[in-house]
Structure 1
Amino acid sequence: MAVVSRYTVALHILTLLAYSSTRSGTYLTSDFIAKSVNTNPVFIRRILSSLSASGLVQVKYGTGSGWCLGKKSDEITFLDVYEAVEQKQLFEYHHSTPNQFCPIGGNIQTSLEPYYHAAEQAMRTSLSRSTIADLLLDTVQ
């Protein structure tokens, strides 16, 4: 079974909310969003919570309750979404410290650091160039 990416689901949620804002302007419930993603509403609410903490979505309680975008779709970059939902580094090191007496194990993590840093910076630069508005245009043709 594949691991569900919080990031991909967050992009899906935000694009759906952007679409809704251009159509009816109504708030969408987590149940409605879960049906679009085809997953559990509890999982959706966890992601919405992270997006809300970053100001990317807003919640309305009471009559007509649900979720909407917290910013304009052309102001939400893929990087904003990544930073809101991904808590781990892009590349992780060993789960346990490598053998420090081994010629490779003693220096592997330090040696990998500049490669990992450069790759993460390239990813961040790329993600900062795309917005939810761009994805909405690509999705709804």
Structure 2
Amino acid sequence: MSISSRFAVGIHILTLIDFNKEGTSSSEFLASSVNTNPAVIRKLMGMLKKAGLIEVHPGIAGAKLAKDLSQITLFDVYKAVNVVQEKELFSVHDNPNPKCPVGRNIQNTIEPLFEAAQLAMEKVLGSLTLEDVVKDIASKENMNC
């Protein structure tokens, strides 16, 4: 199991909006870069708008970032697209055998470990910004020119 691709696509959308700030970032344009259906992009853009990360206006094609690149963390994107709920990144199997010492204790033993791992991951995402992503992509593109 992996984290929903909505997270990666959300980062992709925001990054492309910044790269294309002189042009129109319509859902069709964004979908062509992600290689998906524009309806998927519109749904995610709605989530990003609700989180205050982008501005879109009805009847006007395109979107723009609502904040500076350095103010949008990857954790903001992660939360905006509803990747997982708090303390629910890892699932624990239901109904282990209570007659077995491992089955009786496994959930209480591993749940705190899973919570700590999720918090650590979220802390890392909170320390990275969209600016970091944009700069990395820009440096890779400059190397290829």
Whether the TM-score (by the shorter chain) exceeds 0.5 is yes
- Which ranges in structure 1 are unaligned for 5 or more consecutive residues? none
TM superposition score normalised by structure 1: 0.86
Residue aligned with 1:114, SS: helix
1:33 aligns with 2:30: yes
Which moves more between the two structures, 97-106 or 113-122? 97-106
Q: State the Cα deviation string for residues 56-103 of structure 1 (Å, max 9, x = none).
A: 1111222x4222212111100011111111134221111x32222221
Q: 4+ runs of 1 displaced by more than 4 Å?
A: none
Q: 1:83: which partner in 2?
A: 79
Residue 20 of structure 1 and its aligned partner are, at CA, apart by 2.0
Aligned AA (1:46): K
**What is the rounded CA distance, in whole Å, between the counterparts of 2:96 and 2:18 in structure 1?**
46
Shift of 1:31: 0.7
Deviation for aligned residue 1:27: 4.2
How many percent of aligned residue pairs carry the same amino acid?
Answer: 41
| Contact 1:27/1:60 (<8 A) preserved | no
In the TM superposition, what is the alpha-carbon distance from 1:137 to its structure 2 partner?
0.6
What are the ranges of 5 or more consecutive residues in structure 2 without an aligned counterpart? 140-145
TM-score by length of 2: 0.84
* C-alpha RMSD over aligned residues: 1.9
Instruction: Give the aligned length.
Output: 135
Aligned pair 1:53/2:50, yes or no? yes
